Amino acid sequence: MYIRAASNISPQNTFGNQLSLTELVEYTGDKLTCIEPDYKSLIDPKLIRRMSRIIKMGVASGMDCLQQAGVPVPDAIITGTAYGCLEDTNTFLSKMVQQNEEALAPTAFIQSTHNTISAQIALLLQCHNYNNTFVNGGASFENALLDAMMLLYDGEAGSVLVGGIDEITTNSHAILKRMGLYRRQPISNFELLNDPGKGTMAGEGSAFFLLSREVSGNDWAKIDGVSSFYKPRNRAEIQQHINTFLLTQHVDINEIDLLITGNNGDLKNDAIYEHLQMYDFADKPIISYKALCGEYPTSSAFALWLAAHEIKNGVCSFVSDSNQIPVKKILIYNHYQNIHHSLILLSAC
């Protein structure tokens, strides 16, 4: 699969395809929230006022991705989201309680379903092609990618719009913090990985990719393979999955130029990554991307955008100029709460 175009709305200034180390945004607290663009250039202003925040982010990044690729209507639209449209869900349930289940406005209920974003993009494009949404927790985005891969390989689609989207709301953040997912004391995202402890910082984002089986002169990168596995018993099993994945892709570990991992500052979460970094990838440059976007189930979509961005640049932005090496092959390894683990391998076109 070739990444023809990509668009990313995140807590960093990523919308517009640029990521400058001199302009990284620092957050202090326990969450990172998206920097939203001016939606009026991408969405009809009359529609914007009826859209919740996550729908605006998803539709804007999806439409921007298509505009970059020069594709008016894709052959398929596939999204992955763990939480769906939480703000609309909360609005509908609150009104249901407040109004004793009487005279309820249907808009919030209609827009509360997980497939609202992919459906909204299809409606705006008048796209009647394949449309699917995966809701599989921390594996949602990876399953969307695998579905796109099968469509492309089977020749059922020539271009596929794939996205990963999740948001933070006041209520969802409070509930997850009560469950111990986030830090009790404020911390800077720049210091998160240097000061490990219990919990991490919440994040959110919307990243979309236009994928094609045919190579073009403007592709960002090539996705060689995607794999996910569920609740590994120990580190040895994780290492076995990684080795098997690289073997099936006919790639030696020494060919990997850059490793992107999902370290998030949580002691229990990061122990798995530290073992791999110490032994399997000891001599490799490593980027821990969650210091930029925070922790959320579909954060691997941000990691894919970052990897494609680095390959498109040709060198690693996070390594000093004196140590710059060409970046032609990147491996992404992420896990969400040690339940859903995933591997994505990218290479230069």
Q: Is 257 left (phi over 0), alpha (psi -120 to 50) or beta?
A: alpha
Q: Which domains does the chain have, with CATH numbers?
A: 2-212 (3.40.47.10), 221-347 (3.40.47.10)
What percentage of residues in the chain have a pLDDT greater than 90? Answer: 77
pLDDT in tens, 185-223: 999 999 999 999 999 999 999 999 999 999 988 899 999
Torsion, Cα of 6, 7, 12, 13 (10° steps): 110
Whether the per-residue pLDDT at 136 is higher than 60: the answer is yes
* Separation CA 53–CA 86 (nearest Å): 10
pLDDT in tens, 218-274: 899 999 999 999 999 999 999 999 999 999 999 999 999 999 999 999 999 999 998
Query: CA nearest 33: which of 58, 53, 5?
Result: 53
- Mean pLDDT value across residues 147-151: 96
- Mean pLDDT value across residues 7-26: 87
pTM (predicted TM-score): 0.95
Q: Give the amino acid at 147.
A: D
What percentage of residues in the chain have a pLDDT greater than 70? Answer: 98
* Separation CA 187–CA 29 (nearest Å): 5
As beta bridge partners, residue 33 has none
pLDDT in tens, 51-86: 999 999 999 999 999 999 999 999 999 999 999 998
Whether the per-residue pLDDT at 319 is higher than 70: the answer is no
Query: C-alpha angle 111/117/122, rounded to 5°?
Result: 110
